[in-house]
């Protein structure tokens, strides 16, 4: 009996020591996005996580983009279990809403800007900390995500430049914008992470800056051409096709070539099927006039031939083409 009790006690000690380790291991192995925000009472205590399928969709809001929601506790902490995310890294958006707002609310700019972008996948273990500022996501730091720290550098760089530019004279604004563009293109060129690099490209307002920096944007496409994902392809669509790929150019060329050959072949086949090949050279000339609705007299005058000759040609044309009237000839067009 004593032996049994002793064994039980040993077993309990063993299990007791083991269970916390198992739990710890489980918690360490599961993916999460967690964080802390300093919010005032105007904000609702729910935070939403949305998937952003391309960088063109960064500022798109709809309910079907929202993947999950989590409570923000009274101290400002939140936690998302993200085991369900894809294996590949994707772009996501966290957002909060004002108490009276619908969950699908996006506020861009101003003191109530309500969202933050980050990169994650099903293995992510991310903790972000928001400084007590307005807007709540203005200054975010990451404790254990170098890729998001790098991503955030771009966000803050743009935000800072925007802020300075919005308070600057036109001349100073140009300098600030030029410097920002240079910095962003440098990041795009040197970052080892595709989504970070692409983020810099998008923030550089490539739509209006492509003309003066086409080499940089083309270099980006070339550098990451093996990326087979919507982020890459959606950006590539914005770039003039001559730069996207030589294969594309050749494909376009061959398409046009095949279309031209096909058209000629069709025309020939069509003409042959009508029996035009049976007409003599002179008859073909007369045929063209007939199709244009010319009278025998007009044809006679044009070719300087007798009316009887015209009639002979016309009769021959009718016979060879198996038609009965001028109307049938015109309808052959």
Partner 1 sequence: MKIQAAFSLIAALLLHVPLVAQNGKPTQFSMQQEAAMDLHRTIELDNDSKPAEITLSIKPGERSFDLSIFTMVSEGKLAIEVYDPNKTKQGSFTVGTQLDAGKKELVRGNLEKSWIEPIGGDWKVKIIPSYATGRIEIHTLTAVY
- Order of strands across the sheet with 125-130? 77-81, 32-36, 125-130, 140-142
Applying CB under 8 A, which of residues 51, 173, 238, 274 lies at the interface with partner 1? Answer: 173
CB 57 to partner 1: min, Å: 8
* Rounded Cα distance, 92 and 51, in Å: 5
Tell me which stretch binds partner 1 (CB under 8 A): 32-40, 77-85, 140-148, 160-168.
160-168
Asked if 33 and 129 touch (Cβ cutoff 8 Å), the reply is no
* Rounded Cα distance, 214 and 114, in Å: 34
* Rounded Cα distance, 143 and 139, in Å: 13
Instruction: Give whichever of 104 and 153 is closer to partner 1, judged by the CB atom.
Output: 104
CB 282 to partner 1: min, Å: 58
* Rounded Cα distance, 143 and 129, in Å: 8
How many Cβ atoms from other residues are within 10 Å of residue 239's Cβ?
A: 16
The contact mask relative to partner 1 for 49-88 (x = CB under 8 A, - = no) is --------x-xxxxxx------------------------
Please work out the total of residues on this chain that contact partner 1, with binding judged by CB under 8 A: 26
Tell me which stretch binds partner 1 (CB under 8 A): 150-158, 201-209, 211-219, 249-257.
201-209
CB 177 to partner 1: min, Å: 9
Asked if 87 and 40 touch (Cβ cutoff 8 Å), the reply is no
CB 173 to partner 1: min, Å: 8
Applying CB under 8 A, which of residues 75, 170, 247, 281 lies at the interface with partner 1? Answer: 170
* Rounded Cα distance, 75 and 96, in Å: 15
Length in residues, the chain: 333
Return the residues of window 93-152 that contact partner 1 according to CB under 8 A: 101-102, 104-110, 112
On the CB side of 139, how many CA atoms lie within 13 Å of its CA? 6
How many Cβ atoms from other residues are within 10 Å of residue 253's Cβ?
A: 10
Residue 58's SS3 state is coil
Instruction: Give whichever of 98 and 223 is closer to partner 1, judged by the CB atom.
Output: 98
CB 214 to partner 1: min, Å: 17
Applying CB under 8 A, which of residues 42, 192, 208, 273 lies at the interface with partner 1? Answer: 208
Residue 171's SS3 state is helix
Applying CB under 8 A, which of residues 168, 229, 245, 291 lies at the interface with partner 1? Answer: 168
Q: Which residues bind partner 1 (CB under 8 A)?
A: 57, 59-64, 101-102, 104-110, 112, 166-170, 173, 205, 207-208
């Amino acid at each position: 009996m004593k032996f049994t009790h002793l064994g039980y006690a040993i077993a309990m000690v063993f299990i007791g020591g083991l269970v916390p380790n198992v739990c710890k291991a489980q918690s360490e192995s599961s993916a999460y996005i967690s964080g802390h925000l300093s919010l005032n009472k105007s904000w609702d205590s729910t935070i939403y996580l949305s998937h952003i399928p391309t960088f063109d969709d960064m500022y798109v809001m709809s309910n079907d983009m929202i993947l999950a929601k989590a409570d923000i506790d009274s101290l400002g902490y939140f936690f998302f279990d993200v085991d369900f995310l894809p294996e590949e890294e994707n772009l996501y958006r966290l957002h909060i809403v004002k108490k009276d707002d619908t969950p699908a609310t996006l506020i861009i700019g101003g003191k109530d800007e309500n969202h933050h972008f980050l990169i994650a996948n099903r293995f992510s273990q991310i903790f972000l900390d928001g400084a007590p500022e307005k807007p709540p996501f203005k200054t975010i730091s990451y404790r254990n995500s170098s890729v998001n720290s790098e991503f955030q550098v771009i966000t803050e760089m743009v935000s800072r430049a925007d802020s300075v530019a919005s308070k600057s004279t036109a001349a100073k604004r140009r300098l600030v914008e030029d410097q920002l563009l240079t910095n962003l293109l440098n990041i795009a060129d040197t970052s080892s992470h595709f989504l970070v690099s692409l983020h810099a490209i998008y923030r550089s307002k490539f739509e209006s800056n492509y003309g003066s920096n086409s080499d940089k944007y083309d270099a980006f496409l070339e550098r990451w051409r093996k990326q087979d994902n919507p982020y890459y392809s959606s950006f590539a669509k914005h770039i003039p096709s001559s730069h996207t790929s030589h294969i594309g150019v050749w494909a376009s060329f061959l398409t046009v070539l095949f279309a031209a050959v096909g058209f000629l072949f069709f025309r020939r086949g069509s003409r042959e099927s009508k029996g035009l090949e049976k007409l003599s050279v002179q008859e073909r000339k007369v045929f063209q006039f007939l199709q244009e609705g010319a009278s025998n007299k007009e044809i006679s005058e044009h070719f300087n031939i007798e009316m009887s000759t015209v009639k002979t040609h016309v009769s021959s044309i009718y016979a060879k083409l198996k038609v009965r009237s001028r109307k049938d000839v015109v309808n052959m067009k």
